[in-house]
Amino acid sequence: MQDDLSRTDLGKGGRTPTIGAIEAGGTKFVCGIGYADGTIVDRISFPTGAPETTLRRAADYFADRNVQAIGVGSFGPIDLRPGSETYGFVTTTPKPGWSGFDFLGALRRRFDVPYGWDTDVNAAAYGEAIWGAAAGLDDCVYYTIGTGVGIGVYAGGRLLHGLLHPEGGHMPVRRHPGDGFAGRCPYHGDCLEGMASGPAIEDRWGVKAHELAPDHPAWEIEAHYLAQSVATAILLLSPRKVILGGGVMQQKHLLPLIRSGVAKLLNGYVAAPELGAGLDDYIVEPGLGTESGLKGALALGVRALESAKKQAAEAGIR
């Protein structure tokens, strides 16, 4: 459940207690342990298999490590609604075996500790807001552009949930005039993810994204879709930082193309220095490198522990 702990409650802690973190991706799980100051001291990674096996493997990793809380950032869609009967479940994913799986329940049977629980991209946005590129800011948007496209939202100092959770990766986009690719989203065809994910690039050009030269026309097309989506996110969410992560963003020539695309699309309408001279410091790569997700999960675990302590203290007072 969303609580009101400010960022400043995090990072104050010393190096104990030990907190568990799970970055649960559709392809790969990363489990780690760390501290309230954001340090990760150990980690493992393994492919995502059947849900029971995968969660057993994660739980085995945490066994005998004396974790005081566990934070999870999971692929989804997932149920985040406090009080829901299926809170902690993966809901409608097409991933075989995972639809309707009680993710948190599988962990709870092994460890009676407080749990943090959110989407992978919300966790990454949170990690960046606590310790990364958006540290000290109450509003940021985090993109992962890789196997899919996901968008996490931190707004007014809280992770955005609402009805379900943001699924911005599937927003409709204007087609690039030179792009005849049909799109590969099974639901929407040519939505953002359908046109701009790593597999979309591979389908369109017949080679993997990292094999395309920096001056290949692929990148202008890729930037066209991402810039559009970032402009839309800026107009709808008014973030104080836009952070672009994920495998596709490892191609470092892409980020400047996106920035100039956004500037062209907004055309000076949003009058803020961040969107003018400050643009290079506004649309940025993750401050935590490839660790936004795992550290975000850690931060969710830290928050869950603090929140549980606060509740216990308040119960003691009564």
Site of interaction with a copy of itself (CB under 8 A): 2, 4, 77, 91-92, 138-139, 151, 153, 155-156, 158, 160-175, 187-188, 228, 231-240, 265-272, 274
How many CB atoms neighbour CB 301 within 10 A?
29
Q: How far apart are CA 100 and CA 88, in angstroms?
A: 10
Cβ proximity to a copy of itself: between 29 and 154 the closer is 154
What beta strand segments (E) does 246-310 contain? 283-284
Cβ proximity to a copy of itself: between 48 and 232 the closer is 232
Structure tokens at 120: 């992978």
CB 294 within 8 A of CB 38: no
Shortest Cβ 29–a copy of itself spacing (Å): 24
Shortest Cβ 132–a copy of itself spacing (Å): 17
Q: How far apart are the first and last CA of the chain?
A: 22
Shortest Cβ 290–a copy of itself spacing (Å): 24
Shortest Cβ 302–a copy of itself spacing (Å): 20
Cβ proximity to a copy of itself: between 255 and 265 the closer is 265
What beta strand segments (E) does the chain contain? 19-24, 28-34, 40-47, 69-74, 115-119, 140-145, 149-155, 158-159, 241-245, 283-284
Element (H, E) at 60: helix 51-62
Cβ proximity to a copy of itself: between 2 and 260 the closer is 2
Cβ proximity to a copy of itself: between 208 and 269 the closer is 269
Shortest Cβ 66–a copy of itself spacing (Å): 34
